[in-house]
């Protein structure tokens, strides 16, 4: 069964171009999640053994075929891709605050950094590294931001749990929505006072 499904899995992932959830693949192939995990491991091993130019990525409960990093120069040259501008220090700081504390409000990010972050947040949304992921139930209903699958792909992470621990902490802190509620409420009050 595995041998006949392996090329089909490779074809589906190749044709998809985007990450495909494990739940969807389980339905497509009518197999159990454990069988899918074994199938993906076999595909990963096959691609590695063949020294293929592509590899299988696991991205937070989804799978995607991507090119190997060592071929980046040739791909850029072939498609005449311009070198992407690196993230600024401010963008990296905002991205770190979001990654380790998500979901977060803009007011929370600004409280942590001490400066306005509107432009940086907009840039990170544009680059698809973060996305809006809901709203807090407060007056003004501030937006919540979290990282995307593109963030995981760019930083070669399988899941957000793979982030390195923060210095001085055993593990990355879970989001403290109570603190964000307080920060957002203070931000709302400050906006109200200015008007």
- Model confidence at 2, pLDDT cuts 50, 70, 90, reads low
Distance CA 140, CA 58 (A): 37
The arithmetic mean of pLDDT across residues 160-173, rounded, is 72
pLDDT tens for each residue of 69-112: 898 888 877 776 555 677 889 999 999 999 999 899 999 999 99
Q: What is the pLDDT of residue 195?
A: 39
When the pLDDT of each residue in the chain is averaged and rounded to a whole number, the result is 82
Instruction: Render pLDDT for 140-165 as a digit per residue (tens, 0 to 9).
Output: 888 999 999 888 888 888 888 888 88
Of the pLDDT bands very low, low, confident and very high (cuts 50, 70, 90), residue 36 is: very high
pLDDT of residue 172: 41
Using one digit for the tens of pLDDT, what is the confidence trace for 62-81?
Answer: 999 999 989 888 887 777 65
Complete DSSP assignment for 56-114: EEE-SSEEEEEE-GGGHHHHHHHHTPPPPPPPPHHHHHHHHHHHHH-SEEHHHHHHHHS
55: which residues sit within 8 A by CB, 6+ positions away?
44, 47, 48, 65, 66, 67, 68
Report pLDDT for 146. Answer: 93
pLDDT value for 114: 87
Contact 135, 146 (CB under 8 A): no
Confidence of residue 169 (pLDDT cuts 50, 70, 90): low
Average pLDDT, integer, range 19-31: 93
Compute the radius of gyration of the chain from its Cα atoms. Answer: 20
Tell me, what's the pLDDT at 193?
Answer: 43
pLDDT over threshold 70, residue 56: yes
């Amino acid at each position: 069964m595995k041998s006949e499904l392996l090329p089909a899995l490779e074809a589906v992932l190749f044709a998809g171009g985007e990450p495909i959830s494990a739940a969807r693949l389980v339905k497509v192939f009518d197999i159990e999640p454990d069988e899918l995990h074994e199938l993906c491991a076999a595909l990963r091993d096959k691609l590695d053994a063949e020294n293929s130019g592509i590899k299988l990525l696991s991205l937070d409960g989804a799978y995607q075929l991507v090119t190997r990093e060592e071929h980046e120069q040739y791909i850029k040259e072939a498609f005449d891709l311009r070198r992407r501008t690196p993230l600024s220090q401010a963008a990296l700081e905002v991205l770190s605050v979001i990654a380790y504390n998500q979901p977060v409000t803009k007011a929370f990010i600004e409280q942590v950094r001490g400066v306005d972050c509107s432009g940086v947040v907009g840039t990170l949304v544009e680059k698809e590294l973060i996305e809006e992921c809901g709203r807090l139930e407060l007056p003004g209903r501030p937006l919540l931001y979290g990282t995307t699958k593109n963030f995981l792909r760019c930083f070669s992470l399988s899941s957000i749990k793979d982030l390195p621990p923060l210095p001085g902490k055993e593990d990355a802190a879970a989001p403290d929505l109570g603190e964000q509620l307080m920060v957002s409420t203070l931000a709302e009050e400050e906006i109200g006072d200015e008007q």
